Structure 1
Amino acid sequence: MAPSAWLSLLAFAAAAQAQSGGSAMLRFGCSNIVIDRIDPLVDPGKIPSPHVHQIIGGDAFNASMPVGDISQVATCTSCTYEEDFSNYWTANVYFKARNGTFKRVPIMVNDAIGAANGGMTVYYSSPGKGAVTAFKPGFRMFSGDAKRRTPTNLGKSTQSCFRCYDGPNFKGNVMSPCFDPQRDTEGFPTKPCLGGWRSSVIFPICWDGKNLDSPNHADHISHPVGGPASFTVMSAKCPSTHPVKIPQVHLEIVWDTTKFNNKNDWPADGSQPFVLSHGDTTGFGQHGDYVFGWKGDSLQKAMDNACFAASCKQLKSQSFSKANQCVVKNAVKENNDGWLERLPGME
C-alpha cells in the first residue's frame, strides 16, 4: 500500500473508532504454508481434490481436519499474530498463454506487511466492544460461489473483487477494497495491470448462534438485513434467523500479473488470459475457505479492545523470520510452478 493509502486507512479507522466507541480492525500478514490440491472443507479426505489452492495459517492443515479445537493440534502458524492457528485458503490464479499452456501466477507480498513468503493479508473487524461474538472452536465457513460466472452488481458491497494497480509499489491504491470504480472490478481485470492486481474476499458477518458448520458451509452464516456488508462497515442488523454478529473476516491476495503483461502472449482476440484454478475464466467465481483456530479467547480480546492493524497489546506477535518457517508438506506431488498443458485436476 502506498504511504498515502496507508494514511487514508489509518484516518478511516480512527474515524470509525471515534464513531463506534472503539472499533477494532486487525490487519496482519500470513505466509504461504503450502500450494496444494487438497480441500478439507469442500472435499474432506480427498487426495487430490479437484483444484489447486494456496493456504496460510496453522500447520494442522490437512486433507482431513478434526472438528475440534485446531489451536490444540497445530504447532506453528505462518501468521504474525502467533495465537492464530486458523487456516485460510483460496483458489490460485493461472495465466493461459496464446499457445494454450498454463502457468501459476506468483503471489506478491502486500504493502505494509513485511517479509512474508507470499501469502495473504487477513483482516478481522468489529464495530466496538461487546458488539461481536468471536468464533468457537470447530467453526468453519465459505464465502463466494465457485460456480458463479456472472456479476452480483453489489457495488461497494461486493464480497469479491480485483484491484488493478496503476504501477509498481501499489500505485493507485487509495480507496477501500471494492470501493474504487476505476480500479476495482468484480471479475478479472480486462487489461494489463502495470503493478499487478489484488484479490479481495469478504465473509458474511451474521451467525445462527448454534451451528459451527453446515453442509454447504454457508447456511449457518448470513449477510445482515439489507444485504452484504462492505469492508469494515458493520452497522447493519443481523436477521432473526442469524442473530449473532461475528467478526468480519476479509482476505487480500496480491498477484504478480506483471510477468504476463505482453499482449503478444494473450489470446489473439485480445480477451483477458487469466483463469482461476477451478477453471473459471471470469473471476466471478472467486471464493474463500476458513477454519477457525485462534487460541483460547484471544480473538475476542482483540475485538473488544479496539486493536488496529498489527498493533494489539492483547495479542502476541512473531516475526516473519519465524512465521516463514511454518510450512506443510505437499499431499499431492505435481508441478505447481512450471508451464502446464492443462490446469491440475482439469482433465
Structure 2
Amino acid sequence: MVPWFSFLALAAVAHGQGRGGGGSAMLRFGCSNIVIDRVDPLVTPGQVPSPHVHQIVGGNAFNASMPADTDISKLATCTSCTFTEDLSNYWTASVYFKARNGSYKRVPQMPNDAIGAANGGVTVYYTASGKGQSTAFKPGFRMFSGDANRRVSTGLGRNTQSCFRCYTGPNFQGNVQSPCFDPKLDTEGFPATPCPGGIRSSVIFPVCWDGKNLDTPNHIDHVAHPVGGPASFAVTNGKCPSSHPVKIPQVHLEIVWDTSKFNNKADWPADGSQPLVLSNGDNLGYSQHGDYVFGWQGDSLQRAMDNGCFAASCAAANLKTQAFPAANKCVVQKAVHEDHDGWVKQLPGTEMANMPMA
C-alpha cells in the first residue's frame, strides 16, 4: 500500500497547487466522535429528535440549538480533534446494514488510515493553494455539502463531491489513488459487492464564498463551486464566479465504515442487492452529505493556510495539538436516548414504508 502522504503529495503536484502563492497547505487530521445522535442544528435547529442519525465530531459546544452568528470557539471548552484550536463541528449521516430479515444495525466506524487511536470519527482536510490564496472562514460561518434527497448520480466523475472507496483488504488495501479518483474502487453510490477492508465515505465542500453571508437558509447559497464546476480533491486554484468571488479553503471529510462483519452474502437481501443504507433512508448512497460549523480560534486557520501547513501538525503556524487519549475524552451527552449499536426493526426516525428503493 502506498502511504497516504505519498498520494496526497502527488495529488497536490498533479493539480498544480501552490502556484504563485508560497507553497500549498493541506491539513489532514482526525477528530473522534463526540456523540452519535439524532440532532441537526443546521437543517432542523432545535428539533429533538431530528429525522436521522449522524456521527458528530469537534467541539463540545455542539447541541440541537447552536446559535447562529456566534463564535462557537468561545462556547466550547474542548475538542475531539487533534488540533486543539479547532473547536468546529462536523457531521455526516450514519450507515446501516439491512439484513435479509429486514432488521437494521449501524455499521461501526474505524479510525482512518495513518490517523491514530481515534474513537471512530471523521478525518478532516483543509486545502489552500498558497499564502494569500484563500480566506479562512469567519466566526458564525456554516455550510452544507450534498443533497439528502438525491437518489441519482450527479455524473461528475472525478469531480464528484461525495464518493465511496471499497477497500480490497485489511489495513486499507487498495488505498492508492486520490479520493474519488480510482475508476474501480471509487463509486458515487454504495459499492455493489462486499468490500473486504471496509468502506470510506468522502464529502467535499465548495471553495468559493460570496464574502457577505455567514450562512443562508439552505446553508448552500452563500458558497459556490468554481466557474468550471465542482472541484475535485485538493483542487483550490479554480476561478471563483463573480457572485462568490472569495476563495475559501477546501474542506473535505472522510469517514471509514467497518463493513467486514456484514460481507456474508447469505445475510444480504434475497435479490442480491447491496445491503447498506444511509441513516436518512437512502439505500443507493447518492445522498451522503456533510454539515460544517466553523469554530477555529482566532486566526489559527488562516495562519495554517498561509504557512504551507501539511498533515497533522504545523510548527510554522504554531498550531497546538493533542493526542487521541485527550481528544477522545471530549464528548457531549446524547439528546435522544435510543439504541445506536444493537439490531433495530427500522431506521431511527425513518418509517420503512417510506424508504426509497433501488
Q: Residues of 1 paired with 2:95 and 2:204: CA distance?
A: 18
Secondary structure of the corresponding residue to residue 194 of structure 2: coil
Residue 38 in 1 paired to residue 39 in 2?
A: yes
Number of equivalences: 346
Output the CA distance in 2 between the equivalents of 1:36 and 1:14: 39
Out of 259, 279, 282, the residue aligned to residue 281 of structure 2 is 279
Q: Secondary structure at the match of 2:9?
A: helix
Secondary structure of the residue that 2:55 maps to in structure 1? strand
User: Counterpart of 1:198 in 2: which secondary structure?
Assistant: strand
The one-letter code sitting in structure 1 at the alignment partner of 2:38 is R
Equivalence for 1:10:
9
How far, CA to CA, are the matches of 2:142 and 2:51 in structure 1? 20
TM-score normalised by the chain length of structure 2: 0.95
Q: Distance in 1 between matches of 2:11 and 2:335?
A: 42
2:102 to 94, 100, 103: 100
**Structure 2, gaps ≥5 residues long:** 352-358
8 Å CA contact 2:2–2:175 kept in 1: the answer is no
The structural deviation recorded for 1:311 is 2.3
- Looking at structure 1, the residues matched to 348 and 29 of structure 2 have their Cα atoms a distance apart, in angstroms, of 30
Q: Could you tell me which residue of structure 2 aligns to residue 62 of structure 1?
A: 63
1:43 maps to a residue whose letter is T
Matched residue, 1:338: 342
Contact 1:5-1:175 within 8 A present in 2 as well: no
Q: 2:17, 2:235 within 8 Å by CA — same for their partners in 1?
A: no
What TM-score, normalized to structure 1? 0.98
Distance in 2 of aligned mates of 1:12 and 1:169 = 21
- What do the CA deviations read for 1:237-259 (whole angstroms, capped 9, x no partner)? 00000000000000000000111
Q: What is the percentage of aligned positions where both structures have the same residue?
A: 74
For the aligned residues, what is the CA RMSD?
1.1
- Taking the aligned partners of 1:256 and 1:121, their CA distance within structure 2 comes to 15
Gaps of 5+ in 1: none
1:300 matched to 2:302: yes
Aligned-residue offset at 1:17: 5.5
| Pair 1:174–1:3, CA change in 2 (3 A) | closer
Determine the C-alpha separation between the residues in 2 that align with 1:286 and 1:17: 27
Deviation (angstroms), 1:226: 1.1
What CA distance in whole angstroms lies between the structure 2 residues aligned with 1:305 and 1:6? 18
Change (3 A) 1:238 1:14: closer
**Equivalences for 1:1-347 in 2 at 5 Å?**
2-13=1-12, 16=16, 19-20=19-20, 21-67=22-68, 68-313=70-315, 314=317, 315-347=319-351
Amino acid at match of 1:149: R
Shift of the alpha carbon at 1:11?
Answer: 4.0
Tell me, what secondary structure is at the counterpart of 1:302?
Answer: helix
